[in-house]
Amino acid sequence: MNIYVLVKRTFDTEEKLVVSGGQIQEDGAEFIINPYDEYAIEEAITVRDAHGGEVTVVTIGDEEAEKQLRTALAMGADKAVLINTEDDVEEMDQFTAAYILAEYLKDKEADLILAGNVAIDGGSGQVGPRVADLLDINYVTTITSLEIEGETVKIVRDIEGDAEELETSLPLLVTAQQGLNEPRYPSLPGIMKAKKKPLEELELDDLDIEEDDVEAKTETIEVYLPPKKQAGRILEGEIPSQVSELVSLLRSEAKVI
């Protein structure tokens, strides 16, 4: 099976954000593989081990993204591809990312493409379904279970807490929800092997893409931090009187009940 995983490099969740000049500052920040993409990588490796084939992880970014690709290779992916847009693309949005990924994938005859259902930085969850539409293949989002039985693919997906069971077939793109699996930590032998696995670097030219073709459709005018919350009040006194005070405050001051 030809298996591809779409991976994004994101800030670590614990990072404090610094905004200056209307933009998030990246210097000194710790980067990781988007946690939802880890579920996708893990599932890809499991499917390959069960059904045979090859797992290729793909990311769009700059040279720094090689670190995340090597981590994916250390987990067990077979090949990695970096589509380096640093010199060609100034502003990228979901339209841009999907266009580039679909152009890369269009001649690969992928059987299964996996991605995380959402990136923890952008939070829009668009790229997976957009890529599937551009490739004209079916897609299923927020999956929590995947089974391939011959021609049939059996999936369970999370819809706002309910579990939906469905069937479909390959070729298919799926996006991973928490609960799909437990991503493995790269082992030391895995890390050593990863150094020798192929990591290919491509640019827009290699994909016959003109910068104009992928121009972002949306524009971020400003990024800002939410106003600092006023310090809250820790109530005092005996518990029963704190409770009375709280109810009174919620009604008269906060006005939420």
Partner 1 sequence: MSKKVLVLGETREGALRNVSFEAIAAAKKISGDGEVVAVLLGEAVSEFGNELVAYGADRVITVEHPHLKSYTSDGYGQAFMAVVDQEQPEAIVFGHTAVGKDLSPKIASKLQTGLISDVTDIEGEGADAVFIRPIYSGKAFEKVKLKEDGVVFITVRPNNIAPLEREERSGDVSSLSVDITNLRTIIKNVVRKSAEGVDLSEAKVIIAGGRGVKSKEGFEPLQELADLLGGAVGASRGACDADYCDYSLQIGQTGKVVTPDLYIAAGISGAIQHMAGMSNSKVIVAINKDPEANIFKVADYGIVGDLFDVIPLLTEEFKKVM
Residue of 2, 46, 126, 145 that binds partner 1 (CB under 8 A): 126
The whole-angstrom separation of Cα 147 and Cα 126 is: 24
Interface positions, 172-191, toward partner 1 (CB under 8 A): 178-179
Q: By CB under 8 A, is residue 225 in contact with partner 1?
A: yes
Q: Which stretch binds partner 1 (CB under 8 A): 40-48, 65-73, 105-113, 223-231?
A: 223-231
Residue of 98, 105, 174, 204 that binds partner 1 (CB under 8 A): 98
Structure tokens at 88: 């060609």
The whole-angstrom separation of Cα 50 and Cα 52 is: 6
Q: By CB under 8 A, is residue 129 in contact with partner 1?
A: yes
The whole-angstrom separation of Cα 43 and Cα 180 is: 8
With respect to partner 1, which residue has the nearer C-beta, 50 or 223?
A: 223
Residue of 27, 160, 182, 208 that binds partner 1 (CB under 8 A): 160
How are beta strands 79-84 and 199-202 bridged, if at all? parallel
Interface positions, 1-30, toward partner 1 (CB under 8 A): 11, 13-14, 17, 19, 24
Nearest distance, CB of residue 193 and partner 1, angstroms? 29
Q: Which stretch binds partner 1 (CB under 8 A): 59-67, 122-130, 186-194, 200-208?
A: 122-130
Q: By CB under 8 A, is residue 148 in contact with partner 1?
A: no
Task: Quote the radius of gyration of the chain (alpha carbons, Å).
Answer: 22
Place of tokens 């004209």: 136
Q: Under rule CB under 8 A, how many of the chain's residues touch partner 1?
A: 75
Interface positions, 28-87, toward partner 1 (CB under 8 A): 35-36
Degrees, nearest 5: CA angle 176-207-55: 35
Nearest distance, CB of residue 85 and partner 1, angstroms? 18
The whole-angstrom separation of Cα 24 and Cα 18 is: 6
Structure tokens at 161: 């807490």
Amino acid 73 reads L
Residue of 79, 95, 190, 201 that binds partner 1 (CB under 8 A): 95
Residue of 108, 125, 193, 201 that binds partner 1 (CB under 8 A): 125
Half-sphere exposure of 72 (CA within 13 A, CB side): 38
Q: By CB under 8 A, is residue 220 in contact with partner 1?
A: yes
Residue 116: exposure state from Cβ atoms within 10 A (0-12, 13-18, ≥19): buried
Q: Which stretch binds partner 1 (CB under 8 A): 107-115, 193-201, 202-210, 241-249?
A: 241-249
With respect to partner 1, which residue has the nearer C-beta, 192 or 250?
A: 250
With respect to partner 1, which residue has the nearer C-beta, 27 or 222?
A: 222
Nearest-CA neighbor of 47 among 5, 104, 105? Answer: 5
Specify the DSSP class assigned to residue 230. Answer: P
